Amino acid sequence: MDVREGFIGTVGRTPLIRLAGLSAETGCEILGKAEFLNPGGSVKDRTALYIVRDAERRHLLNPGGTVVEGTAGNTGIGLAHICAARDYRCIVVIPDTQSPEKMERLRLLGAEVRPVPAAPYADPNNYQKVAGRLAQEIPNAIWANQFDNLANRQAHYETTGPEIWHDTAGKIDAFVCATGTGGTLAGVSRYLKERERNPPVRIVLADPMGSGLYHFVKHRVVKAEGNSITEGIGSSRVTANLADTLIDDAVQIDDQTCVDMVYRLLREEGLWLGGSSGINVAAAAWLAREMGPGHTIVTLLCDRGDLYAARLFNAEWLAGKGLTPKLPTARHHGGTPV
């Protein structure tokens, strides 16, 4: 029997999905790790689990305790699931610019949701800093601190990286993904760079407009330009998780390219995914063309599209942002009868 133990036992071990259209178009194997199949619906389930386990192991979080986090949504959702399973109170401080679907999901899971006005990281009223202060005020509470808590990248070093290596049988040429906390890219990079492979696996950061990390990778200075509709990715600083991570290159993806890819994945592959997945897959396609045919490139399919129904999949909302999805006009690969 293959039986997993509750929500926590179901986190991880997600499959790789071959993106047939893009693979045929580029001559590369473009593989998406199906993180939307985690039980909470996103890659952040891994981070949430490791943060809670680490706090329990170090006796910082005790029975009946409270987990407080400042999050753009998915880490909060993962924490809310795990707190329900572990009988902890969960408080989520979230920028009021995030999608209403995320906030409603958090409330349904039993989390206390505290929206705050969006503010830059340097502002003391930034959502992360509000969460940190709140955790100090509550007895038997921890601040998850996903951005600078190294349990985040450890989750991906111990699970995501090894799963990718195993499922590609070590035949991977590049890994590319966007980053917010930096945990996923940092953990996967550390694991894959340690494998004996010549040449080493190439690590590429995908960045939306409005984030400063593209410029950081290219020029070692954090500098943001433009803005983006994407949620939960990009950063105005180098977090503790991302610090000292080996990154070979970076690519910047604009909103129109992201939106076009999200709709292409929906219509061509049948995958209903969020904007971060659009950024990731667009970056993987760019990297495939840059490297040339014959390479295997892995990225993340981060979360499901239902969390963005009122925005990313709302034509009126997109039009208000000057965006119109370019829908696929022809199939790039033959369908398989089912």
The DSSP symbol for 67 reads: E
Is 44 catalytic? The answer is: yes
Any idea which residue has 């929906």 for tokens?
Answer: 266
At CB < 8 A and 24+ separation, what contacts does 18-22 make?
19/265, 19/269, 19/281, 19/284, 20/269, 20/332, 20/333, 21/264, 21/268, 21/269, 21/331, 21/332, 21/333, 22/281, 22/284, 22/285, 22/288, 22/332
CA torsion, ordered 309, 315, 318, 319, to nearest 10 deg: -160
Task: Say which residues have a Cβ less than 8 Å from residue 66's Cβ, sequence separation at least 6.
Answer: 88, 89, 90, 91, 135, 138, 140, 141, 142
Q: 44, 129, 193, 218: which one is catalytic?
A: 44
Q: What size, in residues, is the chain?
A: 338
Strand intervals (E) in the chain: 16-18, 29-34, 66-70, 89-95, 112-116, 141-143, 174-178, 202-208, 249-253, 296-301
Strand intervals (E) in 179-277: 202-208, 249-253
Handedness of CA 152, 155, 160, 161 (dihedral sign): positive
- Sort 17 into a burial class: Cβ within 10 Å, 0-12 / 13-18 / 19+: middle
- In this structure, are residues 163 and 14 in contact, taking their beta carbons and an 8 Å threshold? yes
Task: Say which residues have a Cβ less than 8 Å from residue 247's Cβ, sequence separation at least 6.
Answer: 185, 189, 203, 204, 205, 217
Residues identified as active-site: 44
